[in-house]
Amino acid sequence: MLKILPSRYRYPLFFVGILLMEIAGVLFKLVSLSEEGIEAIVIIGFLVFAFSIIAT
């Protein structure tokens, strides 16, 4: 199987991806950021999270 990323890089990406999505939720509650800005953070977080799972 093709190894894109070794696990020592994938694990931090996994946590960073989820953290970005959660931080977007916190920012939406606490900071008056535009909805587009929040959505952008969530999408980036999800892409990082998905990449950490796919790039085995």
Partner 1 sequence: MRETQDVPIRHLIPVEFLEPNWRFWSFVFISILGSILIAEYRVPVYDGLTDPFYTPTVLILPLVVLFRLTCYAYRKDYHRHLFYHPNSCPSDKRIDNAGRIYTGETGFFRIENIHRYFMYTAWAILPFFYYDIYYSTVYSGSLTVTLGTIILTINAVAVTFYTFSCHSVRHLIGGYRDCTNCPVNKNSKNLIYRFQSKLNSHHEAIAWTSLIMFVFVDLFIRGMVAGIVPNIILIHRGF
Q: Binding residues for partner 1, per CB under 8 A?
A: 11, 15, 18-19, 22, 25-26, 29
> Which is closer to partner 1, CB of 14 or CB of 51?
14
Closest approach of partner 1 to the CB of residue 49, in Å = 11
Closest approach of partner 1 to the CB of residue 4, in Å = 18
d(CA 6, CA 19): 21
> Which is closer to partner 1, CB of 18 or CB of 51?
18
Q: Of 7, 5, 10, whose CA–CA distance to 49 is shortest?
A: 10
Distances in Å between the alpha carbon of 26 and those of 29, 30, 31? 5, 6, 8
